[in-house]
Structure 1
Amino acid sequence: MVSFRVRGRVYRRLVCLMFACFVLTLNGCGSDSSSSTTSTADEGDRAKIAFVTNQIASFWNIAKVGAEDAGKDFDVDVDVRMPADATAVEQKRIVEDLISGGIDALAISPIDADNQIELLNNWAEKIPLVTHDSDAPESNRLMYIGMDNYTAGRMCGELIKKALPEGGEIMLTIGRLAQDNSKRRRQGVIDVLVGRDSMPESCDPTGDVIKAGKYTILDTLLDQGVSTVAKQKAEDAITTYPKIAAMVGLFAYNPPALLQAIKSQNRPDIKIIGFDEDEITLQGIKDGTVTGTVVQDPYSYGYKSVEVLKAILDGDNSVIPEGKFVDIPARAITKENVDEFWDDLKSKMGS
C-alpha cells in the first residue's frame, strides 16, 4: 500500500520534471528561467497532508497551530479543514474534495465512526490515513493519535466527586454520541460515579436516570455540536430539575454554554465541571465558577499527525506502533495548576 502511494508521488514528480524540461527546451538550456522551473519541480514533490476535524471549535484552533508548525518543521504543505456543518456528510464532501485535489495523506477525527468505516477504508486504500481525537478502531486506519477517552472520562468523574463530596443530582452534556470519543468519555464519567471497575466497552443508555449511592445522573443532553442549543437545553434542564447540583460539559464548547445558562437562570450554586481548554473555561477555573476541566493536547494531535504521516510517506513504517495507538495523555486542570497550564498554552499559540 505504501509503495503504491510513493509511486503516486514519484509519478507527480515526473510530470513536474517533464514540464520543467519542456520549459527549458522553449527558453534554451542556459536561460535564467532554469531556477524557476526547478522550484516548480520541487513544489510538485512537496508532500500535501490534510488535517480534518469534526467541527469548528476553539479546541481545533490549537490543533491547527500544531499541524502548521509540523508542516514547517517537516517541509510539507498542511491543509486544515473544519466542517462548518458537523455532520458525516459534510466531512465526506471535504475529504473527497481534498483527495481530488491531490493530497498525499489524511488525518481525520471521524464524526460517526461506525457508519463511516466503508468510507474510511476507501480513503485508506488511496492514501495513508490516521485518526486523531476520536478513533474508528474497526477501520483500516494506520493508527489513532490521541488520548484514552475512557480514562479521561474517569478523570472527569473524579472532578465531579471533588465538586460534590456529599453527592447530588448531575446533568451531563455533550455534542453527540455517534463519535467513539463521546461514548467512551461519557461512560468513564458514569462508571466512576457508579463505582464500577473499568468497563470501556459498555454504554449506559440515554434517557434513563442513573442512581448510584449519593449520586444521581439525571440524563445526557445532546446538542449536535451547536453551542446555542447546548445553552438552551441547559437552561431548560435547570428549570425542569431545580435540585441540580452540578452540570458537566464533555465537549470544549459545553462548559462556556453551561456558564451562560447558570447565569441566565441565576443559579451560581450549580457546580460546573468541564472538558478541554476553552479560554472561558480556564478563566472560570481561575474565578472559581468552574471546578476543573480535563484537557487534551490538541497541539500535539496536530503536530504528531503531520509528523507520522510525513514519515510514512517517506517509507518509514516504524512510526506505526504495534498497538496502532499513539497515547497523548489527558490532564486534570484545577485552580492549583491552571496558571501554569494556560501560560504554556498561550506560548504555543504565540500569544
Structure 2
Amino acid sequence: MTVGCGSSKQSKSSSAQTRPSVAYVTNGVAAFWVIAKSGVNQAGEDFDADVSVLMPSDISDQKRMIEDLITKGTDGFAVSPIDPDNQNELLNKAAKFAHVITHDGDAPNSDRECYIGMDNYLAGRMCGELVAQALPEGGKIALFIGRVEQDNARRRRQGLIDELLGRSEDSSRFDPPDAEIKEGKWHIVGTYTDQFDRVKGKANAEDAMSRHSDLAGMVGLFEYNPPLMLEAISQAGKLGKIQVIGFDEADETLQGIVDGHVYGTIVQNPYEYGYQSVRVLAGLSRGQTLAELEIPESGFLNIPATQIRRDNVDEFWTKKKQILGEK
C-alpha cells in the first residue's frame, strides 16, 4: 500500500483543523447503509465536517477505498471491516496516518481507536429469543447470511445458536458453519452464505426448502436475507407454513411483519452508527480524547439492538420513514 502522500496522524491532530474530512466506509451496498448515510450527513452539518460515504462491492474494493482515503489525506474514517482477521495490517497502516474507528463490525485486534455499534453476540441471542417464540415446539431451521468472516456475522450467528441451545454466554464460542447442529428440540440444518450475491441468496433459500420439506423456520442474519427468503417462500407457496425471523429493517421485512408472514426482526440503529462515527472522528481530528468524547474505557460505544414484532412495527416504521424523509 502506498501511503507516502498522506500526512501523519500526529501532525493532523496538532494542526487545529477547523473543518476535518471524514469518511464512512460500509461493508457492502444495502438499504441499511442509506439510513446510516442520513446520520453521516446530519453529523457533518452538526460538527462542521466534510463527509463522504463509500459503499464497496467486495473486500478488494474496500481495500482500494481505504488506500485512496490515506492518499488523499483524509483526517479520519470509520469502517465496517469485511474480513477483520485479514485486514488488520491494512487498518494498522492506515491508523498511522488517519484516525481509524470501526462501526457495525469490529476489528478488535487492530489499532482502531474505538468501535461504534451493538454487541452482535447479544443481538444474536435476542434473535434466538424471537425464534424460540415463533417456534415453541422447535424443529428444523436454516440460517442465511452474507459471509461468516465478518466479526458481526460470526458473533450474531453464534449468539443465536447459543440462545436456542440454552448455553451460557460466551462470544468466543464458534460452531463450524458447515455442520448441522442437532440438540434437544432444535435441528439447525445449516448456515447458507451468499457473499452479498442476491441471486445466490434467493437460491440458498430455495435449496433449503428443497432439501428439507419439513423446514419449520428460516432466519436471515443480514438485512437483505429476509426479503429474499420471503420471495422464495412465496413462490414455493409456503407463506405462513415456514416461520421467518430476520435482522434489520428492510421495508419488505417490516411489511412481512405487518402481514403476518414474518414473526419479528432485530433492528440496529444505522442512523446513530453514521452520526456517532462522524461526531467521534471530527472530535479526534480536532485533538479531543476518547474520554472527552464520552467513549467508555473499553473502546466500545454501545448502540443497543431492538426486537421488532407486530405490536411495535408501525411505530418503528414511521420513525424510519421520518429519518429518510419519506411519507
Equivalent position amino acid for 2:245 in 1? I
Q: Highest Rg: 1 or 2?
A: 1
1:130 aligns with 2:105: no
- Taking CA–CA contacts closer than 8 Å with sequence separation of 6 or more, which of the two structures ends up with the larger relative contact order? 2
Match of 1:326 among 297, 301, 317: 301
Match of 1:4 among 1, 11, 15: 11
* Residue 349 (structure 1) shift: 1.1
Q: 1:233-274 CA deviation, whole Å, 9 max, x = no partner?
A: 110110111110000000000000000110121111111100
- The answer as to whether partners of 2:9 and 2:97 remain within 8 angstroms in 1 is no
Equivalent position amino acid for 2:243 in 1? K
Aligned to 1:346: 321
Identity between Structure 1 and Structure 2 (%): 52
Q: After superposition, where does 1:246-257 map in structure 2 within 5 Å?
A: 246-257=217-228
Taking the aligned partners of 1:296 and 1:46, their CA distance within structure 2 comes to 29
* Residue 145 (structure 1) shift: 0.1
Moved over 4 A (4+): none
Secondary structure of the residue aligned to 1:55 is: coil
- The answer as to whether partners of 2:248 and 2:267 remain within 8 angstroms in 1 is yes
Report the structure, 1 or 2, having the larger helix content. 1
Aligned to 2:30: 57
Aligned to 1:285: 257
Equivalent position amino acid for 1:185 in 2? R
TM-score by length of 2: 0.94
Taking the aligned partners of 1:121 and 1:191, their CA distance within structure 2 comes to 32
Equivalent position amino acid for 2:30 in 1? A
TM-score by length of 1: 0.88
Q: 1:111-162 CA deviation, whole Å, 9 max, x = no partner?
A: 0000000000000111111000000000010000000000000000000001
Equivalent position amino acid for 1:137 in 2? P
Taking the aligned partners of 2:33 and 2:197, their CA distance within structure 1 comes to 15
- The answer as to whether partners of 2:146 and 2:193 remain within 8 angstroms in 1 is yes
Taking the aligned partners of 1:150 and 1:144, their CA distance within structure 2 comes to 15
Equivalent position amino acid for 2:38 in 1? V
Taking the aligned partners of 1:154 and 1:115, their CA distance within structure 2 comes to 27
Aligned to 1:27: none
Equivalent position amino acid for 2:39 in 1? G
Q: 1:290-322 CA deviation, whole Å, 9 max, x = no partner?
A: 000000000000000000111111111022421
* Residue 102 (structure 1) shift: 2.5
* Residue 4 (structure 1) shift: 2.6
Aligned to 1:34: none
Aligned to 1:72: 45
Equivalent position amino acid for 2:323 in 1? K
* Residue 2 (structure 1) shift: 5.4
1:311 aligns with 2:283: yes
1:195 aligns with 2:166: yes
- The answer as to whether partners of 1:276 and 1:295 remain within 8 angstroms in 2 is yes
Unmatched 5+ stretches in structure 2: 1-7
